[in-house]
Amino acid sequence: MVKTPINNVSPASSAVVQVGRGRKLMRKLMAQRTLQIMVLLGVAWMIIFNYIPMYGIIIAFKDYVITQSITEAPWAGLEHFKAFFEDDELGNVIRNTLGISLIKLFIGFPLPVLFALFLNEIRSIRFKKAVQTISYLPHFLSWVILGGIMATWLADVGIVNDVLKGLHLIDQPITYLAEPKYFWSIVIASDIWKELGWSAIIYLAAIASVSPDLYEAATIDGAGRLQKMWYVTLPSIKGTIAILFVLAVSGVLNSNFDQILVLRNQLNDSASNVIDIYVYQMGIQQGRYSYSTAIGLIKSIIALILLLLANGVSKKLTKTSLF
């Protein structure tokens, strides 16, 4: 006995269903047309400024000069990649890049989390808003302005030397930006000062979504404020922390070009020459476009590998990942 499938649908019925779904989708898109236009503008921006310029990557495999088009430039294969790995400056550039970025990651990443946790515990709304405003303010100032402020503060006659001499911690003023040994500390401290409050916004938003019932249950169980932070707040926002940590790891080769360009000089060059600065020097100042493009491509490949590794580790440990 041959059984006839119950769910056997004719082609005509299937076409009707597809048309109905299409009409439903169009009605939904029309109802959301304002939001869809906003999304399309973002997509168009990404295509124009992120995807179309990727064609220029081909320069890394050619001997390109500005007087020629990309198609006219002769092929060079992997010559520029080989030249970078054989460059005498490679060791210093990698050391400075990883040194600054890893210290920023291990010190600068947890601080906004802690700041958000303690800021959330402030009961006075007026005082809380004042602290938030003061901590956010540096983010809205460019590094050109903040760099000038830092240079003034750290000068021989700046406020830092005046305070240290007043406390009898030093006898002679120190020109901090002229000493390579101080450069990493200056970069890391100023970056934390600028971005601490702004980086905490995401964590504060995540904390605001935590159910009050969890805090009430913890209070009934006799938990104190620190215990609530450790056993309720942190586990509730661990997904947000994991995602931002994955993104931070993928950007470990980015050393904040604007900041270092403003603070560096010839005297601290041995500590301030990072990959982004090196690419700028080779590409813009010396006109070695193919060479600098090859370095940028290497950096992008390493960033992709770090992103995949960090995402995999986060998925396994926290069950949270980007994809």
At residue 282, the pLDDT reads 93
At residue 16, the pLDDT reads 66
At residue 221, the pLDDT reads 86
At residue 19, the pLDDT reads 72
At residue 153, what is the residue type? W
Taken in order 149, 150, 153, 157, is the CA torsion positive or negative? negative
Residue with tokens 């904040």: 256
At residue 1, the pLDDT reads 47
Calculate the dihedral angle through the C-alpha atoms of 190, 118, 164, 187, rounding to the nearest 10 degrees.
Answer: -10
At a CB cut-off of 8 Å and minimum separation 6, what does 115 contact?
Answer: 135, 196, 197, 200
Say how far apart CA 250 and CA 323 lie, in whole Å. 14
Angle in degrees, CA 195, 198, 199, rounded to 5: 75
Question: Is residue 155 within 8 Å of residue 263, measured between CB atoms?
Answer: no
Per-residue pLDDT of the chain (323 residues), as tens digits, is 445 454 555 666 666 667 778 788 888 888 888 888 899 999 999 999 989 988 889 999 999 988 888 888 999 999 999 999 999 999 999 999 999 999 999 999 999 999 999 998 888 889 988 998 899 899 999 999 999 999 999 998 889 999 999 998 888 899 999 999 999 999 999 999 999 999 999 999 999 889 889 888 988 888 888 898 999 999 999 999 999 999 999 989 888 899 999 999 999 999 999 999 999 999 989 989 999 999 999 999 999 999 999 999 888 888 888 88
At residue 22, the pLDDT reads 78
Q: How many CA atoms lie within 13 A of 145 on its CB side?
A: 7
At residue 30, the pLDDT reads 87
Say how far apart CA 109 and CA 195 lie, in whole Å. 10
At residue 297, the pLDDT reads 92
Q: Phi and psi for 75 in degrees, rounded to 5? A: -75, 140
At a CB cut-off of 8 Å and minimum separation 6, what does 305 contact?
Answer: none
pTM for the predicted model, two decimal places = 0.83
At residue 102, the pLDDT reads 93
